[in-house]
Amino acid sequence: MCGILAVLGCSDDSQTKRVRVLELSRRLKHRGPDWSGLYQHGDCFLAHQRLAIIDPASGDQPLYNEDKAIVVTVNGEIYNHEQLRNRLPNHKFRTGSDCDVIAHLYEEYGEDFVDMLDGMFSFVLLDTRDNSFIVARDAVGITSLYIGWGLDGSIWISSELKGLNDDCEHFQCFPPGHLYSSKNGGFRRWYNPIWFSEAIPSSPYDPLALRRAFENAVIKRLMTDVPFGVLLSGGLDSSLVASITARHLAGTKAAKQWGSQLHSFCVGLEGSPDLKAAREVADYLGTVHHEFHFTVQDGIDAIEDVIYHIETYDVTTIRASTPMFLMSRKIKALGVKMVISGEGSDEIFGGYLYFHKAPNKEEFHRETCHKIKALHQYDCLRANKSTSAWGLEARVPFLDKDFINVAMAIDPQWKMIRPEEGRIEKWVLRKAFDDEDHPYLPKHILYRQKEQFSDGVGYSWIDGLKAHAALHVTDKMMQNAEFIFPHNTPNTKEAYYYRMIFERFFPQNSASLTVPGGASVACSTAKAVEWDASWSNNLDPSGRAALGVHLSAYADTGGSAAAQAAKVSSSKMINNNNVPPRMMEVSAKEVAIHG
């Protein structure tokens, strides 16, 4: 991930202003430690902090068209850049960078080119011929982006809040899938897939089509000129990513440069569920596996840095971001600059355990749509900023545009959780990769129970956070919380503790407004409570708080609700669904909400 900062149409074009823009851009240097650049055209400044993944030698930014009339600063990866270059035969490219196509596409097609881009991106493009500009963010907000307004009429764009929060009168999240045009003076949504309207799809479930779409999504993300690996927790999503990557790595440019054996990475407390499961998957796939341990105190000591970098006070996000933040530092220390991760699957397929309570397919589908639309505020934010804090890039194939189109076109009746029919959460995904002849994963991994990341790294992690917060937040502070924090009032001591730290770094009212919904919104959504009223009083975002689901699942399996699957041969699978009987039993109890 790179860092971009732009100041457009300010009233000051002096050297002092240039120095200030450089100062603010340096706040994003962690995102792009490899090089920095600044372009000034009158009262417009475009700055860039580069993390070099493609064409490290010559892809420095800002980038230009042939006569340098069009200037662009980009954060992201354009996976179809070679195909796009072929559509621009009359253009000459200065670099081999994947982002080099953007200025030329604009020159050829105008503002409507954005939907041609296949990748994750945020960019600012300045057309010096008329001093107009456009700003765009990728379809679901994998890359982070903010927009602000100055009193002098200037518009500010930054990859992170810290690049503009001190200099803008007001700022907010730049909406995913949108474009801002100075010519039109406002936003318009460029990403308009069929599912976005939340109309109920009716396409039949085709497991092979779903498998091919996801394999393609992973394969295109093997585009790299630097060492890379996969994040592997041992759960379904990360294990599938690792399995497909391991299968297709040989013969790629990356394999020729860095070797054909895949590197995998996992983090957890000593003896945590994730470490055990990840090690088993790594052994099965034959990866070079790196296991990182941290203590509860290590995590607590990092909390302030985590909140500074991820720029949120959401409880669930902070809990999960801290181990990822610590792991990213270790990964970067090994010389790795890019990792592939498994975010997005639960939102697309209804993988959170409260989806067991969905009353019908219409409700199920609309909730998956809502979850995908909110990803940029939660898991995308976590994955992007936790890794970018150390100059590491995370790629997320489940959020591939083409894959989402395939997955969200499936009649949601197939996604519904039906324990009596052997369909557990994310059954359509599991079934698509249940290949008897050439197994992607062992059965008990393929049908492993959903585990929230912050739980999976070790249960004492969350308990330790709560205990630490209780030492710093008194009952009296909680009594006055609604007066101190009238917006998104924290309702637990842990939430109050995070909010205090956030406000110290980002005291502006605009900053607090960028965080949605409050402490438990990620788990206790209005929809979840509507489906099961017993959740109206649940204040803890941890999935294991729900009816002892994980306690009962782990009590007799020694680590995974799906562990019994190892003892069940394929000939004993029931209902012709290849789902272990033990998993059907667990599924009936899985009503926990996992944020």
Element (H, E) at 293: strand 288-293
**What DSSP string runs through 144-176?**
--EEEE-TTS-EEEESSGGGTTTT-SEEEEPPT
One-letter amino acid of 353: L
Output DSSP code: residue 514.
T
Short-list 127, 154, 145, CA closest to 69: 127
Residue 158 region by backbone torsions, left for phi larger than 0, else alpha for psi between -120 and 50, else beta? beta
Q: Taking each helix axis as running N to C, give the angle between helix 236-248 and helix 273-285, from 0 to 180 degrees, rounded to the nearest 10.
A: 20
Q: Is 231 marked as a binding-site residue?
A: yes
Q: Is 230 marked as a binding-site residue?
A: no
Query: What's the half-sphere exposure (Cβ side, CA atoms, 13 Å) at 393?
Result: 28
Element (H, E) at 71: strand 70-78
Contact at 8 Å (CB) between 71 and 32?
A: no
Residue 2 among the catalytic residues: yes
CA angle 467, 472, 474 (to 5 degrees): 100
CA angle 506, 507, 511 (to 5 degrees): 60
Tokens standing for residue 127: 């057309």
CA angle 405, 79, 148 (to 5 degrees): 85
Strands 393-395 vs 338-340: parallel, antiparallel or unpaired: parallel
Query: What are the Cα distances from residue 371, in Å, to 118, 144, 350?
Result: 22, 17, 9
One-letter amino acid of 251: G
Considering the candidates 2, 10, 173, 523, report the single residue annotated as catalytic. 2
CA torsion sign for 337, 282, 234, 344 is positive
Element (H, E) at 551: helix 549-555
Short-list 401, 377, 400, 372, CA closest to 321: 377
CA angle 124, 150, 112 (to 5 degrees): 25
179: phi then psi, degrees, rounded to nearest 5: -130, 135
Q: Is 341 marked as a binding-site residue?
A: yes
The answer to whether the peptide bond before residue 62 is cis (omega within 30 degrees of 0) is yes
Report the C-alpha gap between 23 and 164 in whole angstroms.
11
One-letter amino acid of 11: S
Q: Per the annotation, where are the binding residues for L-glutamine?
A: 98
Q: Per the annotation, where are the binding residues?
A: 98, 231, 267, 341-342
Q: Per the annotation, where are the binding residues for ATP?
A: 231, 267, 341-342
Q: Which residues are catalytic?
A: 2
